[in-house]
Amino acid sequence: MDQQVAIVTGSARGIGKSIAEKLAKQGFQIVICDIDQEQVEKTAKEIEQLGTKAIGIKVDVTKPAEVDQLFEETMKTFSRVDVLINNAGITRDTLLIRMQESDWDAVIAVNLKGTFNCTKSAAKIMMKQRSGKIVNISSVVGVMGNVGQANYSASKGGVISLTKSAAKELAARGITVNAVAPGYIETDMTKSLSDEVKAAFLTVVPLKRPGTPADVANVVNFLVSPDSDYITGQVIHVDGGMVM
């Protein structure tokens, strides 16, 4: 993968950072992007220690102008974009009847509109290159739904539908678009869940353990490698068997 370029959104920490590390070890040059400038720079430096070139760009994926700038800066530095991982995501959990409009809007804006914004910008470049791989991070909740996550499940279900439409539109130009649907993965996002909720999750995981960011990164790595060239429009579950 030497000289190929991968942009990973929401990659200052968590699953995104793990994906960036995995791709860096495969030889990809990496663009770390996230909303916190300090964290972005810190993570980009850590990635460079793995022996590849990495740049950090502060971007809010909900803002099309910032996303345009992300791709412009990436092209200025590397002159190509081979891989886009739409990973940035947030939760604002509460029961449907208590959910504020702002909780709904914030989650849809980052998880779904952010994925649209970045996919659109990447597609313009990849179509000219006639190659590219896009991987969207969805969730099992986007398939199953979940109590207290009407906004999140709608956003992640939307990501799956967006993945399929983009896969159909872009296939003729040699671009694949797939989604990964993680289950319960141990990160900052799930750290705040009560022990009771965590234990309840594990009762429905046949493999009887939470997933790690590396479990997700390994599958993403496959989906951006030539080994997956004949796979597009698919949703790969990384959930210990939760959904089958």
DSSP string covering 25-83, please? HTT-EEEEEES-HHHHHHHHHHHHTTTS-EEEEE--TT-HHHHHHHHHHHHHHHS---E
HSE of 86, CA atoms in CB hemisphere, 13 A: 35
Distance CA 79, CA 58 (A): 19
Q: What is the smallest separation between the CB atom of 136 and ligand NDP, expressed in angstroms?
A: 9
Q: Please, what is the minimum distance in Å from the beta carbon of residue 31 to ligand NDP?
A: 12
Q: Is residue 185 involved in binding ligand NDP (CB under 6 A)? A: yes
Closest CA to 244 of 170, 151, 140: 140
How many chain residues bind ligand NDP (CB under 6 A)? 29
| Residue 110 interacting with ligand NDP (CB under 6 A) | yes
Would you say 178 and 140 are in contact if contact means Cβ atoms under 8 Å apart?
Answer: no
68 binds ligand NDP per the rule CB under 6 A: no
Token output for 221 = 């790595």
Least distance (Å) between residue 213 CB and ligand NDP: 7
Q: With binding defined as CB under 6 A, does residue 15 bind ligand NDP?
A: yes
Rounded least distance, CB 87 to ligand NDP, Å: 5
Q: Is 230 a catalytic residue?
A: no
CB atoms within 10 A of CB 208: 9
Q: How many other CB atoms are found less than 10 A from the CB of residue 193?
A: 15
Our CB check for ligand NDP shows the closer of 187 and 221 to be 187
- From 28, 71, 152, 201, the catalytic residue: 152
CB 84 within 8 A of CB 77: no
Q: What angle do CA 136, 142, 144 make, to 5 degrees?
A: 145
Exactly one of 26, 46, 90, 231 binds ligand NDP (CB under 6 A); that residue is 90
Question: Does the footprint of ligand NDP cover residue 240 (CB under 6 A)?
Answer: no
Choosing from 117, 119, 139, 149, the residue that interacts with ligand NDP (CB under 6 A) is 139
Question: Among residues 99 and 127, whose Cβ is nearest to ligand NDP?
Answer: 99
Q: Which residues contact 85 (CB under 8 A, 6 or more apart)?
A: 6, 7, 8, 9, 11, 16, 19, 134, 135, 137, 220, 224
Q: Among 3, 27, 36, 128, which residue interacts with ligand NDP (rule: CB under 6 A)?
A: 36
Stretch that binds ligand NDP, among 34-42, 45-53, 94-102, 221-229 (CB under 6 A): 34-42
Would you name the residues annotated as active-site residues? 152
Residue ranges in contact with ligand NDP by CB under 6 A: 9-10, 12-16, 34-36, 59-62, 87-90, 110, 114, 137, 139, 182, 184-185, 187-190
